[in-house]
Amino acid sequence: MLSTFLGLITRYEGRKFVKLNDALDESQIVGLGTDSDNQISLYIHIPFCKSLCPYCCFNRYLFREDEARRYFKNLTTELNLYIHRGFKFSTFYIGGGTPTVLMDELLGFISYLKEKFEVKQISVETTPREVNEENVNLLKEAGVNRLSIGVQSFNDSILKSMGRAFCTGEEIREKISIANGKFDTLNLDLIFNFPPQSIETFEADIEILKSLRVNQVTFYPLMPSPHKKNALERRFTRVDTSREKAFYSVILRDICGDNYLPSTVWCFSKGERIIDEYIINFDDYIGIGAGSASLLNGNFYTNSFSLNRYEELLTQGKLPIMRWRKLSEHELLYYYLLSKLFGMRLVKKKFHKRFNANIHQKLERELLFLKLFGLIQEKDGEINVTRKGMYPISVMMREFFAALNGLREYCLENQI
């Protein structure tokens, strides 16, 4: 009940947040310095996959080698535009799509990053299909610290219904053993509350997962965009969010404990690990690549989702930004609170530095409400999410991402 209420508020706020317009203010795009000074990270989007999963709302296209090679060139052009504006980065998240679809281009791009910046961390996403000895060694040699593999499930029948029959559960396990121990962080992504999934199949997935002894796992609640949701429901049954809590309780019971501690309400790590939710660790981030989003100086903006338009604008020497909005103070505060609670902790001093005010001055009502229901507690200058608070925060985050997925779907379908 409480989760549903918080979810509805977030849905409303999330939809407002993603209502962007096309009035671009380029004067706002100036470098802020390095991550350590000003907390800015770079997200790099590679929108190609060898097959397209029916539930996925990221900007992605079926892989074509010539198109992908051109894209990597454009990506370098876009990065150079930011470099010329004085941006410096040291933390890089390469996501997709599937960044490893064209390894020579990916490695070339990573070399370019190392040439231009003092690289501290590189995180790369991949699918089990691309995991093999050769690729793992190449990524390691290139200095990748974190590899994240999209497993989704180990159950063959669920993999098939997810459109991911390219590897069986058994093959996925073998591939994970190739990569395990090679990177500072090896993360596995799993999805929960997919329509044909039952609690029993999910519990079996978690048993397998635990036996693999990887140092990080991220569980995503299914978050389809409106059209993807309809398509899934035509094929299976209703996408029923009332089942979600039962799945999440299994995660809390079987994963969140002595061995794995929550880095976010969805990501559980053994020890200190890199997480890919750059929205938590960095107040500002730039996204490059088709369909990427950025948050800079209180502005939220997205690049063109269309590969042609993306290339066209870069060829004209312009940043490929299509939608833009300056967020209000209320929206920035709300986003800050949500993203930090998603990451389990908000440091009051950092809030003060960011907003030049005490958090209680700005968000007293919200904090009182969350505290009253036992979702957060305050201690030693921090606000922490309690175990009871984890599921409600997960629901809020799901609703926020669902709003973002709605924007992605709109932009992709209209080739904005």
Ligand X SMILES: C[S@@+](CC[C@H](N)C(=O)[O-])C[C@H]1O[C@@H](n2cnc3c(N)ncnc32)[C@H](O)[C@@H]1O
**Cβ atoms of 222 and 53 closer than 8 Å:** no
Among 13, 78, 189, 244, which residue interacts with ligand X (rule: CB under 6 A)?
189
| Tokens linked to 249 | 């309780």
Dihedral over alpha carbons 90, 61, 81, 102 (to 10 degrees): 60
Does position 127 bind ligand X by CB under 6 A? yes
User: Following DSSP, what letter does each residue of 46-112 receive, concatenated?
Assistant: E-EESS--TT--SS-EE--HHHHHHHHHHHHHHHHHHHHTT----EEEEEES-GGGSHHHHHHHHHH
What part of residues 190-209 is at the interface with ligand X (CB under 6 A)? 191
Does position 410 bind ligand SF4 by CB under 6 A? no
> How far apart, in whole angstroms, are the C-alpha atoms of residue 42 and residue 92?
5
- Beta strand 48-49 with 40-46 is unpaired
Which single residue is written with the structure tokens 């930011």? 82
Partner whose binding site includes residue 52, from ligand X, ligand SF4, none (CB under 5 to 8 Å by kind): ligand SF4
Residue 100 or 394: the one with the smaller Cβ distance to ligand SF4 is 100
- 158 — phi, psi (to 5°)? -70, -40
> How far apart, in whole angstroms, are the C-alpha atoms of residue 405 and residue 3?
20
| Tokens linked to 175 | 């591939």
Does position 53 bind ligand SF4 by CB under 6 A? yes
Q: Which of the ranges 91-99, 169-177, 361-369, 395-403 carries the binding residues for ligand SF4, by CB under 6 A?
A: 91-99
Give how far Cα 55 sits from Cα of 50, 189, 191, 239, Å.
15, 14, 11, 11
Q: Which of the ranges 47-55, 255-263, 287-295, 362-370 carries the binding residues for ligand SF4, by CB under 6 A?
A: 47-55
- Check residue 348 and give left, alpha or beta (phi > 0: left; psi -120 to 50: alpha): alpha
> How far apart, in whole angstroms, are the C-alpha atoms of residue 167 and residue 127?
10
What part of residues 136-175 is at the interface with ligand X (CB under 6 A)? 150, 152
Residue 101 or 403: the one with the smaller Cβ distance to ligand SF4 is 101
Give how far Cα 24 sits from Cα of 99, 313, 328, 410, Å.
29, 14, 16, 19
Number of H helices, E strands in the chain: 16, 17
Residue 87 or 305: the one with the smaller Cβ distance to ligand SF4 is 305
- 155 — phi, psi (to 5°)? -90, 120
Among 93, 220, 282, 351, which residue interacts with ligand X (rule: CB under 6 A)?
220
Residue 228 or 325: the one with the smaller Cβ distance to ligand SF4 is 228
Does position 399 bind ligand X by CB under 6 A? no
Among 43, 48, 55, 305, which residue interacts with ligand X (rule: CB under 6 A)?
55
Coil, strand, or helix at residue 9?
Answer: helix
Does position 224 bind ligand X by CB under 6 A? yes
Residue 7 or 47: the one with the smaller Cβ distance to ligand SF4 is 47
Which single residue is written with the structure tokens 């070399």? 111
Residue 151 or 376: the one with the smaller Cβ distance to ligand SF4 is 151
What part of residues 124-153 is at the interface with ligand SF4 (CB under 6 A)? 127, 150
Does position 49 bind ligand SF4 by CB under 6 A? yes
Residue 272 or 413: the one with the smaller Cβ distance to ligand SF4 is 413
204-243 as b/e, with b when 16 or more CB fall inside 10 Å? Answer: ebbebbeebebbbbbbbbbbbbeebbeebeeeeeebebeb
Encoded one letter per residue, x for contact with ligand SF4 by CB under 6 A and - for no contact, window 328-367 reads ----------------------------------------
Least distance in Å: CB of 76 to ligand X? 22
CB count within 10 Å of CB 149 equals 24
Does position 231 bind ligand X by CB under 6 A? no
Count residues binding ligand SF4 (CB under 6 A). 11
Does position 130 bind ligand X by CB under 6 A? no
Among 44, 159, 176, 222, which residue interacts with ligand X (rule: CB under 6 A)?
222
Among 3, 17, 41, 60, which residue interacts with ligand SF4 (rule: CB under 6 A)?
60
Partner whose binding site includes residue 57, from ligand SF4, ligand X, none (CB under 5 to 8 Å by kind): ligand X
Least distance in Å: CB of 130 to ligand X? 9
Give the footprint of ligand SF4 on this chain (CB under 6 A).
Answer: 49, 52-53, 56, 58, 60, 96-98, 127, 150
Which spans of this chain sit near ligand X (rule: CB under 6 A)? 49, 55-58, 95-96, 98, 125, 127, 150, 152, 189, 191, 220, 222-224
